[in-house]
Structure 1
Amino acid sequence: MRALITNDDGIGSPGLAALARGAVAHGWTVVVAAPAEEASGTSAGLSAAGDDGRITVEQRQLPGLPDVPAHAVAAHPGLIALAAAQGAFGEPPEVVLSGVNRGANVGRAVLHSGTVGAALTASLNGARALAVSLDVGLEPGPHQHWDTAVTVAATLFDRLAAMPAGTVLNLNVPNRAEVGTPRRAGLAEFGTVRSHVENGDDGAISLTAVVVEGDLPPGSDARLLAEGHPTVTALRSVTEDPNMRL
């Protein structure tokens, strides 16, 4: 399988390199293309640096991947996935792996995630996609178990490759040295962390992340992840609603 590895944390993220190494170890043909700078929260946006429609691409070498082409792209991950589908980094990928993201992507707020946005964009362009996130919490400690997330993700690689083109899976892994197998989960209304907007005295608004209080819905991705289980959720990209009467 031809695999594109991307993310929204940027080309220097250790989670990106770990996921690329996992795909190489699995025997896939791998190319890496990721934002030159962090692009978290960009959803499936197609923004890029530059005023003339040209997007800067610089070659990089990632740790442990001397033979894998790696590109630092001055663009958001959604645009990178779109460009890859049109042959910008070689033959279009059959599989797109997005991550490993620094922080969980659970609940309906996955709509805003650049990690998930890249996967959804890839699916609209004929690839199978897997978004992978590590639940490091609001204040990441010194130990971030990227290899744990990749090990769990690798258990899904063959299953993903056998699924129809356009399939999207969203995987979240607890930040632990050892975890169990992924559990299928629905999307919670909100994750364990929620964005909070406050109005300032100067007329500006500020955006902060706060921990959601109260019980999380049983069987939801947020609840199962909080209990220490990896979760996997099949996502559907934008489509019409045949049941809506207009």
Structure 2
Amino acid sequence: MAHSRRLRALITNDDGIDSPGLHALADGARAAGFEVVIAAPHVDASGVGGSVLSIRDGNRTRVHSRELAGLPGVPAYAVEGHPAFIVHSAGRGWLDPEPDVVLSGINLGANLGHAVLHSGTVNAVLAGLMHGWRGLAVSLDLTDPAPENPHWDTVLHLLPEVLDVLLAAPDPAALSLNVPNLPIAEVGELREAGLSTFGTVQVRVDHRSGEHGEVLHSESAKMSTPLEPGRDAALLAAGHPTLTELVGVTDRPGVLDRVAPSRRAG
């Protein structure tokens, strides 16, 4: 993608405008030569997937201009809406000029396996595909609660190489980068990875009754099944940053061809 101007990057996330990971990603994108504009949810919106929900008053969704520490002169907006809503808004007339790429993260925790379906961070870049934009979702493998000093520097060390891959990809393309929370010297080589069947966390939901009425009680636990060799969860656990190209919603022809003609005729 050759341009005579600087490429414009929309920086977003699902952890909210005040997340240090968002600020680190914006700083890294600026250092890589992008023109940066930041637009992120005004509060934590983790786990919203591809939702385009916003807090509306009629046709209006509130936007709050912000000045972020360490990012002087960078336009930044706290939006009362979910990440995919923000990206779609950027492609429906809000941002002029439109972004060339969507960079989402740095997420507080890995986004692995087919569980990326639920990630607001990942679905922000998948929403960008609908507008013809390349996108990169970036996640750091943090425990809960997060450590006091995450290795943002490790992510930013890898970022230029991964951005080169993104810009060399067919347009549009959506990539997901997961980085182990390790010092740069201890990180393995960047590996392409397929999606694990699930992620690394399993959620059990029980229907319970008590003094507060009937509830669905959720409890998370590490997966008890072995990690699948060569897949994202296993490679990340072994200390490798992983890169996966994701495909957005598409169609598969031939649905009626799988049914015998006599059955289709009734």
> What are the Cα deviations for residues 24-53 of structure 1, in whole angstroms up to 9, with x where unaligned?
001111100000000000111000012412
Amino acid at match of 1:183: R
Match of 1:209 among 204, 210, 220: 220
The range that moved more, 135-144 or 25-34, is 135-144
Q: Following the alignment from structure 1 to structure 2, what is the Cα–Cα distance between the partners of residues 169 and 243?
A: 28
Which sits farther off after the overlay, 174-183 or 52-61?
A: 174-183
- Alignment map for 1:1-246 (pairs within 5 Å): 1-178=7-184, 179-201=187-209, 202-242=213-253, 244=255, 245=258
**Residues 57 and 103 of structure 1, relative CA distance in 2, 3 Å threshold:** same
Distance in 2 separating the partners of 1:19 and 1:180: 21
How far off its partner does 1:112 sit?
0.4
Task: Give the stretch that moved more between structures: 124-133 or 59-68.
Answer: 59-68
Whether the 8 Å CA contact 1:86–1:92 is kept in 2: the answer is: no
Q: Distance in 2 between matches of 1:89 and 1:69?
A: 11
Q: Which amino acid aligns with 2:25?
A: L
Which residue in 1 is equivalent to 2:3?
Answer: none
Residues 96 and 128, structure 1, Cα contact 8 Å, conserved in 2: yes
Q: What amino acid is aligned across from residue 150 of structure 1 in structure 2?
A: L
Shift in alpha-carbon separation, 1:225–1:49, aligned structure 2, 3 A: same
User: d(CA) in 2 for partners of 1:23 and 1:36?
Assistant: 21
1:220 CA drift (Å): 0.6
107-116 or 143-152, larger mean C-alpha shift: 143-152
Output the CA distance in 2 between the equivalents of 1:3 and 1:164: 17
Unpaired stretches in structure 1, ≥5 consecutive residues: none
Alpha-carbon separation, structure 2, partners of 1:16 and 1:87 = 23
The superposition leaves residues 135-186 of structure 1 with CA deviations (integer Å, 9 ceiling, x where unpaired) of 0023322221122122222211122122222200011000112123320000
TM-fit CA distance, 1:243: 5.3
Post-superposition shift, 1:215? 1.0
- Once structures 1 and 2 are overlaid, which stretch shifts more, 195-204 or 116-125? 195-204
Q: Within 2, Cα distance between the matches of 1:227 and 1:190?
A: 17
TM-score under structure 2 normalisation?
0.89
CA 1:82 to 1:198, structure 2 compared with 1: closer, same or farther past 3 Å? Answer: same
Aligned AA (1:93): P
Using the alignment, how far apart are the partners of 1:208 and 1:155 within structure 2? 37
Fraction of identical pairs, as percent = 48
TM-score, with normalisation over the residues of structure 1? 0.96
Alignment partners' CA distance in 1, 2:144 and 2:207: 22
Greater CA drift, 96-105 or 135-144: 135-144
- Does the 8 Å CA contact 1:105/1:172 hold for their aligned counterparts? yes
